[in-house]
Amino acid sequence: MTKMKKLLKLTKGNRLLYITAILSIAVATFVSMIQPMIIKVTLDSIIGDKPIDAPVAITNLIAKVGGREVLWRNIWICSLAIVLLTCTRGVFLFLKGKLSAQAAENIARNMRTKLYDHIQNLPYKYHVNAESGDLIQRCTSDVETVRKFFANQLVQIGRSFFMVTFALIMMLSLNVKMTFIAMIVVPFIFVFSYVFFKKIKHTFEEADKQEGVLTSILQENLSGVRVVKAFGRQSFEIEKYEEENKKYRDFTFKLIKLLSNYWSLSDLLCMTQIGLVLISGVYFAVSGEISLGTLVVFTTYEGMLLWPVRQLGRILSDMGKMTVSLGRITEILDVPVEQEYGKAIKPEVKGEISFENVSFEYEKEQGVLHDISFKVNKGETVAIVGPTGSGKSTLVHLLLRLYDYNNGSIKIDGTELKDIERKWMRSNVGIVLQEPFLYSRTIKENIKIAKLDSEDVEIHNAASSAAVHEVITSFENGYDTIVGEKGVTLSGGQRQRVAIARTLIKDMPILIFDDSLSAVDAETDRIIRTELNKKSSDNTTFIISHRISTVMDADKIIVLNHGKIESMGTHDELIMEDGIYRRIWEIQNSLDTFAEEKKACNE
């Protein structure tokens, strides 16, 4: 019942189309039922001499055209009636197909839009744990499965209902005994179809999940193609894909085998049923219990009756696939989107930040940050250093409200961070990651993403501040250069600098550079920091880096270790203390000295 409710909910806004399509199929089915009756009357009462035995409507129509004598002399009228009925049936079948297809496409479009919108608003934690290949599979292949069901099988359910109902009524009105014979095998076909439905649903679910695995492997491999080639892992990746591909083939073959078994056995049952009707009908016709026309009608109606019963397997098969796909889609839609737990206010963000006893854990009893407390004034530059896994990136992610802290308080200009609307806070914070993402567009379009109405002058100024303007202008197409998927045509340092320009083009009160200068050389690093220092009076800046030369000019340096603040101060203060910062500084300083001595020797 829950799935049926979800099914009906999807038709919202398109129900009139479906109602019209179902009415069209009802008319088409009714018309198709009249044709055998016309053949019966023609054989028995016009060509033959038996009294007219037909529905009242047909009897009255014969009387209006002049009776059986007129029709006997103008037998072509009966043929014309059959042709007209066939044309009428064709028109309503066309309407059914057009309307159901239109409704199905609308539903598929709405589902895709709803899925995309929902995924955009899911928590960051969900995307960290989700496989992008599986999400793509659900948003494409699964939506297509649902669309096919709505386009083909949903209306076919109505067609089957009307066809069985009309056929039974007509057959019972002609001969009860023959109707009973015509229905002997039908219950067995229903039971067989139900068992088949249960099996195919489970098998399709396995095949669908395996297809998602294949999509994930393909997406991951294409994204990391440079790593694969760099380490010569093509053979390993091919073998891994081939192994999963074999599993998918086996599931698909199992699915095809089930379908072939169903169609062959259902054909046997249906042909047996038609044989029984034909043999019984011939016997009754020879004995004079029924007429030749009645035999023809029963044979025709039996085919009409068995078609929807046999088609039940296809309907149930597609319904099984659809319910699996719909379940996979609703799994995404059932995930709650990001919620605003506070007041969701939009205060003016100036850049004064304070952490008071802040703690955070991703999972229970797996704390990442412990009792973090510090204060940053507007316009200050704060550097965060520490070993890998010490919680540096997590700390700045809290500012963006990608995660909400478990304990303590974070205040932005005196306002509790949890009370500030997420989107508003993110619109006031610019972040550049160590591995920035660039779209497969031009460099200009990538920089403009942060500020769509920016002029060329603003774009060039931002690129100059990021020390990438001269690099861009050296390209053949300059700012109109297509960077390729994820910026693959640019070097790591160039991607980072384009990402920095994208952040700087929009004047945000808080800037975060999460190890985003790691791929640039020391001279470029110095140029970018000089430009950032010019903006420091207006922007509060956080710099995460392992390079001491990058952070040494910061107003405040925070040293994290195991999720705790080990020390805090300026560069001059920290190198006087015995701790991680001093050890890193001594190691890097000795390496720089060694490099300079080696260079001097080479010269």
Does residue 536 have a pLDDT over 60? no
Task: Kindly state whether residues 385 and 292 are assigned to the same domain.
Answer: no
What's the confidence (pLDDT) of residue 355?
92
Task: Kindly state whether residues 303 and 356 are assigned to the same domain.
Answer: no
Tokens of 226: 């440079």
Q: Please report which confidence band the pLDDT of residue 375 belongs to, taking 50, 70 and 90 as the band edges.
A: very high
* Domain-located, residue 68: yes
The answer to whether the beta carbons of residues 545 and 515 sit under 8 Å apart is yes
What's the confidence (pLDDT) of residue 70?
62
Nearest to 319 by CA among 188, 159, 154, 139: 154
Conformation bin of residue 344: beta by default, left when phi > 0, alpha when psi is -120 to 50: left
Nearest to 358 by CA among 409, 398, 392, 404: 409
SS3 376: strand
Does residue 34 have a pLDDT over 60? yes
Does residue 37 have a pLDDT over 70? yes
pLDDT tens column, 546-586: 888 888 888 899 999 888 998 999 888 888 888 888 888 88
Task: Kindly state whether residues 206 and 249 are assigned to the same domain.
Answer: yes
* Domain-located, residue 480: yes
CA 469 to CA 460: how far, in whole Å? 6
51 against 266, higher pLDDT: 266
182 against 484, higher pLDDT: 182
Please, which residues bridge with residue 542 across strands? 382, 512
pLDDT tens column, 332-356: 888 888 877 767 888 888 889 999 9
Does residue 535 have a pLDDT over 70? no
pLDDT mean across residues, the chain:
80
The residue-averaged pLDDT of 324-331 equals 84
Domain span including residue 37: 2-333
Task: Kindly state whether residues 78 and 150 are assigned to the same domain.
Answer: yes
Give how far Cα 354 sits from Cα of 259, 357, 417, Å: 65, 10, 10
Backbone torsions φ then ψ of 556, nearest 5 degrees:
-150, 135
278 against 531, higher pLDDT: 278
CA 426 to chain centre: 25
301 against 121, higher pLDDT: 121
Please list, in sequence order, all residues whose beta carbon lies within 8 angstroms of the beta carbon of residue 341, skipping any fewer than 6 positions away. 404, 418
What's the confidence (pLDDT) of residue 353?
92
Give how far Cα 532 sits from Cα of 335, 432, 539, 541, Å: 40, 13, 9, 9
Task: Kindly state whether residues 324 and 190 are assigned to the same domain.
Answer: yes
Q: Please report which confidence band the pLDDT of residue 373 belongs to, taking 50, 70 and 90 as the band edges.
A: very high
The string of DSSP letters for 164-228 reads HHHHHHHHHHH-HHHHHHHTSSHHHHHHHHHHHHHHHHHHHHHHHHHHHHHHHHHHHHHHTHHHH
Task: Kindly state whether residues 413 and 479 are assigned to the same domain.
Answer: no
Backbone torsions φ then ψ of 406, nearest 5 degrees:
-80, -40
* Domain-located, residue 536: no
What's the confidence (pLDDT) of residue 357?
92
Given 3-state DSSP classes, what are the helix, strand and coil percentages for the chain, each rounded to the nearest 5? 65, 10, 25
The answer to whether the beta carbons of residues 397 and 544 sit under 8 Å apart is no
* Domain-located, residue 517: no
* Domain-located, residue 247: yes
What's the confidence (pLDDT) of residue 64?
65
* Domain-located, residue 224: yes
Q: Please report which confidence band the pLDDT of residue 600 belongs to, taking 50, 70 and 90 as the band edges.
A: low
Q: Please report which confidence band the pLDDT of residue 280 belongs to, taking 50, 70 and 90 as the band edges.
A: confident
The answer to whether the beta carbons of residues 262 and 313 sit under 8 Å apart is yes
* Domain-located, residue 110: yes
What's the confidence (pLDDT) of residue 411?
92
Does residue 603 have a pLDDT over 90? no
pLDDT tens column, 185-226: 777 777 777 777 777 777 877 887 787 788 778 777 776 776
Nearest to 536 by CA among 560, 504, 576, 578: 504
Please, which residues bridge with residue 431 across strands? 512
What's the confidence (pLDDT) of residue 32?
81
For residue 367, what is the domain's CATH number? Answer: 3.40.50.300
What's the confidence (pLDDT) of residue 45?
64
Task: Kindly state whether residues 152 and 190 are assigned to the same domain.
Answer: yes
Does residue 2 have a pLDDT over 70? no
Task: Kindly state whether residues 459 and 437 are assigned to the same domain.
Answer: yes
Task: Kindly state whether residues 557 and 473 are assigned to the same domain.
Answer: no
501 against 486, higher pLDDT: 501
For residue 224, what is the domain's CATH number? Answer: 1.20.1560.10
Cβ neighbours around 553 below 10 Å, total:
18
Task: Provide the greatest CA pair distance for the chain.
Answer: 122
Cβ neighbours around 174 below 10 Å, total:
19
Tokens of 303: 């085919």
* Domain-located, residue 98: yes
Task: Kindly state whether residues 447 and 501 are assigned to the same domain.
Answer: yes
Classify strands 407-412 and 353-363 as parallel, antiparallel or unpaired.
Answer: antiparallel
What's the confidence (pLDDT) of residue 19?
84
Which letter, b or e, does each residue of 355-368 get, where b requires 16 or more Cβ atoms within 10 Å of its Cβ? beebbbbeeeeebb
Task: Kindly state whether residues 278 and 170 are assigned to the same domain.
Answer: yes
What's the confidence (pLDDT) of residue 283?
84
The residue-averaged pLDDT of 51-64 equals 64
Q: What is the 3-state secondary structure (H, E, C) of 27-42?
A: HHHHHHHHHHHHHHHH
CA 7 to CA 1: how far, in whole Å? 10
Task: Kindly state whether residues 67 and 122 are assigned to the same domain.
Answer: yes
SS3 296: helix
Please, which residues bridge with residue 376 across strands? 353
* Among the ranges given (1-10, 99-108, 201-210, 441-450), the one the predictor scored with the smallest mean pLDDT: 1-10
Percent of the chain with pLDDT over 90: 4
Does residue 53 have a pLDDT over 70? no
Q: What spatial distance separates the first Cα and last Cα of the chain, rounded to whole Å?
A: 82
Does residue 123 have a pLDDT over 90? no
Cβ neighbours around 190 below 10 Å, total:
11
What's the confidence (pLDDT) of residue 595?
54
CA 294 to CA 176: how far, in whole Å? 12
What's the confidence (pLDDT) of residue 409?
92
What's the confidence (pLDDT) of residue 220?
74
For the chain, helix (H) and strand (E) counts, in that order, are 24, 10
What's the confidence (pLDDT) of residue 201?
72
User: Total structural domains in the chain?
Assistant: 3
